[in-house]
Structure 1
């Protein structure tokens, strides 16, 4: 190799600590000159030298930030050395060295995945250190872009999966209005541990459910989906009331991963004439009943425990006369567990006050639900952190 001239030393740009480089060069003279140029630029620099491709592969370590590889080695020619290094260290920057007559090979190497190339005869200390610094930064940028692309692809795939798991109501009665809101507490998620569903069966009855799996996270979301699907299957196969909850309780006990996992549920069956309903509460917050005359919560009793707590438990029903015009709002505790601005929690009394104001102002359907959530967040001083689900069924002006 022709003598390499130094125009002055430059430290490795943007490389923190004591950088570790791997130099793959079979010519002892060239290797010595490269080491001299680099250590002059940055004293304390760690340089491992390999004279063959086999030695280079054995010397590769996660802490090596850049591999400087000669494309003319005893056991590799052309781009073979580059391919091997990239196979064994895909996250490490690679800078290739070529001779003056082989500069075109350097261009091919960059196209094959190297971060840059240098012609040996033109190298000096400043050029070498800059090239290494830029190769490392370029590799970091490439890795960040790759990870971002993979994350976006995974996010889109997860979103498609989660959208496919969200319920599509089976509801044919045009006299009923059906409104829902669903918001998981987990960042960038579509599903949480809350679930809801609505099914109209062949006899004209409309069945609705809302539930809340204890805890937060992907496991709880998965369990919520399984319970919702089990509920829908049971309803479509003719199960109702306490018998349905008994079976759902059994499903929960078999599907959960720990005995302390429980699920609160509120279930409503609306009669075919739409003038009465039967409500089952299993440890769940009390629904709100809207009429033209106002808003009130359903009675606190009778009610049963949450699913998964007491084997052989009983879940009594509340029979409700609806009238001609009504609304039933089922919700999970994510709506009422935010702060109320005075150090306490919103809870049912606070939600009732908000609902009375909204209903008195003539808010119905989506406007009613969105207004209640917005007011709960305003009192909380920010977004509600828990999973949140709301299901509103209404008829007439209720």
Structure 2
């Protein structure tokens, strides 16, 4: 839970941890003499202070004034136990005029130290104000640093999940879109890639590691790189998915983790497609209006990571002239509408047919067509918590 910053107009909440009644009364008088309104509470032992902080009934204090000599703690023991990353500022109260002791207290983590018989109301008020403001600044800097670390982590994952296609054929154009789920703070496990091998065959993959977060995203990166390596190495196509299955089983951090995946290989003539599905929704051949349709799931295989000794039989498809192939993850079809219905593949096919129908051919601006599909899915969905990746391959031949 993120720390809640105090209201600037409200009195500062101060917890005095002091077992000596006379010293406690002196602190109360100092605050009364100073131009600072505080909500002062007192604990007479470290255990009582920890209980108050744990109960947090009246809200966490903004500042703790801590005596170093308590009945149940001596030296810096109490200071170390009361210091927390998102906790209040801690000012040390000491009866000893010992500069080294004060410096050591600051080194342990105290915001400042005060000598009891050398402090007055204005000095105490100023020290509390400064300590609270420094603590707030520390929290802001820490939050900014954490946000930058997350942004850097996401950027690294994104570069791995969303690569630059490796393609030399000027007659084939690749357009890709990726949108993280609306409830996510990190990238999920959606990944894709497109490469052309030395024989001129065009290979595409799209996959979805179940779950969300850095572990799933890292696994997605590993699978994508493995796929690219296997394809470019010229391995027998029938061995690509079994090898990736073995990699997933060895790399996953939980035995139930699996990945759905679709691969497509277009021969060098660009007239024939070989497709393999591992529990993944089928790609769509995008034409004009009713010519748009989803490919068959006749040979749908199980996801990677499920069972052992699995095979994924290919499905051969004849491609029309100037074909376009859309691969996508299930985030594009699983958005739930207000009626409770889910788009699914039939809904996506109808939506594609609608978007590709019009007086202006969509091929004049395929990127706008793909954006329109993404936007329509977004507006049709009441909520979407899954990532969406979509890759459109457009051939001019």
Q: Which TM bucket (shorter chain)?
A: 0.7 to 0.9
- The DSSP-based 3-state class of the residue aligned with 1:19 is strand
Maintained 8 Å contact 1:21/1:48? yes
The match for 2:177 among 175, 181, 199 is 181
**Distance in 1, Cα, partners of 2:114 & 2:31:** 19
Going from structure 1 to structure 2, the CA distance change for 1:305 and 1:85 (only over 3 Å counts) comes to same
Q: Is the 8 A contact 1:69 1:96 kept in 2?
A: yes
Aligned mates of 2:325, 2:305 — CA distance in 1 = 26
Q: TM-score, normalised to structure 2's length?
A: 0.77
Q: Does 1:280 align with 2:280?
A: no
| 1:43 Cα offset (Å) | 6.7
1:312 maps to what in 2? 309
CA drift at 1:97 = 5.6
TM-fit CA distance, 1:300: 1.8
Show CA shifts across 1:253-280 (max 9, x none): 2112233222111100011111111111
Q: State yes or no: 1:62 paired with 2:82.
A: yes
Q: Could you tell me which residue of structure 1 aligns to residue 29 of structure 2?
A: 37
CA contact (8 A) 2:31 2:124 kept: no
Q: Secondary structure at the match of 2:211?
A: coil
Secondary structure at 2:374's aligned position in 1? helix
Matched, 1:84 2:80: no
What secondary structure is seen at the aligned counterpart in 2 of 1:45? strand
Is contact 2:66–2:91 with CA below 8 Å preserved after alignment? no
Instruction: Give the alignment partner of residue 219 of structure 1, picking from 215, 218, 225.
Output: 215
Say whether residues 1:363 and 2:362 are aligned partners. yes
Give the aligned partner of residue 245 of structure 2: 249
Equivalent in the alignment of 2:159: 164
Q: What residue number does 1:209 align with?
A: 205
Q: Is the 8 A contact 2:264 2:273 kept in 1?
A: yes
Q: Is 1:296 the counterpart of 2:316 in the alignment?
A: no
Tell me, in whole angstroms, the C-alpha distance in 1 between the residues paired with 2:286 and 2:265. 16
CA RMSD of aligned residues (A): 3.3
| Contact 1:39–1:45 (CA under 8 A) maintained in structure 2 | no
Query: 1:193 aligns to what SS in structure 2?
Result: strand
Aligned residues: 349
* Cα separation, 2, equivalents of 1:163 and 1:148: 22
| Structure of larger gyration radius | 1
- Aligned residues of 1:31 and 1:49 also touching (Cα < 8 A): no
What is residue 330 of structure 2 aligned with on the other side?
333
Contact 2:208/2:260 (8 A) holds in 1: yes
Pick aligned residue for 1:199 from 174, 195, 201: 195
1:131 to 126, 135, 139: 126
User: Over residues 138-191 of structure 1, what are the superposed CA-to-partner deviations in whole Å (9 max), with x where a residue is unaligned?
Assistant: 1331222221232133134313422432312111111101011122336343x3
- Label 1:36 to 1:195 Cα distance change in 2 as closer, same or farther (>3 A): closer
- Correspondence for 1:234 among 224, 230, 234: 230
**Residue 50 of structure 1: how far off its partner (Å):** 4.1
Residue-by-residue CA offset, 1:47-82 (whole Å, 9 max, x unaligned)? 654479x95524424178532557x945x33xx444
Distance 1:13 1:93 in 2: 22
Kept in 2: contact 1:20–1:66 (CA 8 A):
no
Matched, 1:271 2:267: yes
Q: Where does residue 378 of structure 1 map in the other structure?
A: 379
Q: Distance in 2 between matches of 1:66 and 1:243?
A: 62
1:4 corresponds in structure 2 to none
- Partners of 1:14 and 1:269 in 2: how far apart? 68
Cα distance per residue 1:98-126 (max 9 Å; x no partner): 99xxxxxxxxxxxxxxxxxxx74xx33xx
Q: Give the match for residue 143 of structure 1.
A: 138
Q: Which residue of 1 aligns with 2:6?
A: none
How far 1:387 sits from its partner (Å)? 1.6
With structure 1 as the length reference, what TM-score do the two structures score? 0.77
- CA spacing shift, 1:51–1:358, aligned 2, 3 Å: closer
Alpha-carbon shift at residue 250 of structure 1 (Å)? 1.3
- What SS does the aligned partner of 1:215 have? strand
In terms of mean alpha carbon deviation, does 321-330 or 36-45 score higher? 36-45
1:353 aligns with 2:350: yes
